[in-house]
């Protein structure tokens, strides 16, 4: 059960968009529509931003959106704001009541 | 308000045992599974395992199977993560988190820092 693959870093200027990829396999990302994304600021607990590939919990800005194609899921943050600077992790159901996180991506707002 | 409140930071020696806790409030404890997640210093999130509070059915990620035990006490709405013999490599922040009706974990505890050092 290897970690899902994410780019270590991504960046964009305020107002721009950034997209983070999350590459898995047919046993996790590709096999189920159960990909979530979490935002983590330094020293804080993670926060759910997207679940079930595309759904946003109440209170999460619509600037955050999720998608999936095959074994790759993506998180797009549109209209980047300073407070979006954080670490982002994807997470997928991997069958047999097990789950796996991605390796994490640090987003920098330039 | 749904809350998961974890026990405080721990400093232990290698070989010692430890149990940390996660007390939930604001919802029916037995309704949703609880997972534990490790974050080693400066590293990413790792899913360790999960438990169904109603029947204590649990699943572990292979790297953690046999090294930790996840349990619950329904009488006090609390989930536990325990070690019988800590290693220095167990030094990390440990989070409990609730699966709110989908495979995603939607509510997180504040984290418990465990330091294992001789």
Backbone angles phi, psi at B93, to 5 degrees: -95, 135
- Band of residue A109 on the pLDDT scale cut at 50, 70, 90: very high
Asked if A97 is an interface residue toward chain B (Cβ–Cβ < 8 A), one would say yes
Strands B10-12 and B112-116: parallel
Average pLDDT over residues B92-115: 95
Nearest Cα residue to A49 out of A26, A22, A24: A22
Q: What is the pLDDT of residue B102?
A: 85
Average pLDDT over residues B8-33: 97
Tell me the residue length of chain B. Answer: 118
Q: Check CB contact under 8 Å for A98 and B59.
A: yes
- Band of residue B100 on the pLDDT scale cut at 50, 70, 90: confident
DSSP calls for B58-112: EEE-TTTBTTBEEEEEGGGTEEEEEESS--GGG-EEEEEEEE-SSSSEEEE---E
Asked if A27 is an interface residue toward chain B (Cβ–Cβ < 8 A), one would say no
For residues B59 and B52, the answer to whether their CB atoms sit within 8 Å is no
* % of chain B surpassing 70 pLDDT: 100
Q: Of the candidates B59, B95, B106, which has its C-beta nearest A97's C-beta? A: B59
Average pLDDT over residues B47-65: 95
> In Å, how far is A58's CA from the nearest CA of chain B?
11
How many alpha carbons lie under 13 Å from residue B37 in its C-beta half-sphere?
29
Asked if A38 is an interface residue toward chain B (Cβ–Cβ < 8 A), one would say yes
- Considering only CB atoms, which chain B residues are within 8 Å of A51? 102, 104, 106
> In Å, how far is A13's CA from the nearest CA of chain B?
25
- Considering only CB atoms, which chain A residues are within 8 Å of B40? none
Query: Mutate which of A99, A100, A103 to disrupt the B interface (most B C-beta within 10 Å)?
Result: A99
- Considering only CB atoms, which chain B residues are within 8 Å of A103? 44
Q: Considering chain B, what is the average pLDDT of its residues? A: 96
Q: Check CB contact under 8 Å for A102 and B46.
A: no
pLDDT of B97 over the 80 cut? yes
- Considering only CB atoms, which chain B residues are within 8 Å of A98? 47, 59, 61
Q: What is the pLDDT of residue A2?
A: 86
Strands A18-23 and A72-77: antiparallel
pLDDT of B78 over the 90 cut? yes
Q: What is the pLDDT of residue B4?
A: 98
Contacts with A32 (C-beta within 8 Å, 6 or more apart), sequence order = A92, A93, A95, B103
| Distance set, CA A89 to CA A20, B18, B57 (Å) | 9, 28, 27
**pLDDT tens-digit readout, A51-103:** 999 999 999 999 999 999 999 999 999 999 999 999 999 999 999 999 999 99
pLDDT of B118 over the 80 cut? yes
* % of chain B surpassing 90 pLDDT: 97
pLDDT of A1 over the 90 cut? no
Partners of B76 in the β-ladder: none
How many alpha carbons lie under 13 Å from residue B65 in its C-beta half-sphere?
7
| Distance set, CA A104 to CA B8, B94, B106 (Å) | 26, 17, 18
**pLDDT tens-digit readout, A11-38:** 999 999 999 999 999 999 999 999 999 9
Asked if A45 is an interface residue toward chain B (Cβ–Cβ < 8 A), one would say yes
């Amino acid at each position: 059960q290897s970690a899902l693959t994410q780019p270590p870093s991504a960046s964009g200027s305020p107002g721009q968009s950034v997209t983070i990829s999350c590459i898995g396999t047919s046993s996790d990302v590709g096999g189920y529509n159960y990909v979530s994304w979490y935002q983590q600021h330094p020293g804080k607990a993670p926060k759910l931003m997207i679940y079930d590939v595309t759904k946003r919990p109440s209170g999460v800005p619509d600037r955050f959106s999720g998608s999936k194609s095959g074994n790759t899921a993506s998180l797009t943050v549109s209209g980047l704001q300073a407070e979006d600077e954080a670490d982002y992790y994807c997470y997928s159901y991997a069958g047999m009541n097990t789950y796996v996180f991605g390796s994490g991506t640090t987003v920098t707002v330039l | 308000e749904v809350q998961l409140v974890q026990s405080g930071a721990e400093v232990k020696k290698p070989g010692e045992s430890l149990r940390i806790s996660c007390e939930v409030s604001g919802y029916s404890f037995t309704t949703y599974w609880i997972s534990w997640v490790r974050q080693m210093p400066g590293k990413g999130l790792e899913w360790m395992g999960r438990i169904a509070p109603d029947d204590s059915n649990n699943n572990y990620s292979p790297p953690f199977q046999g090294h930790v035990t996840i349990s619950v006490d329904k009488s006090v709405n609390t989930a536990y993560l325990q070690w019988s013999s800590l290693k220095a490599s167990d030094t990390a922040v440990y989070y409990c988190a609730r699966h709110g009706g989908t495979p995603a974990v939607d509510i997180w505890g504040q984290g418990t820092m465990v330091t294992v050092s001789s």
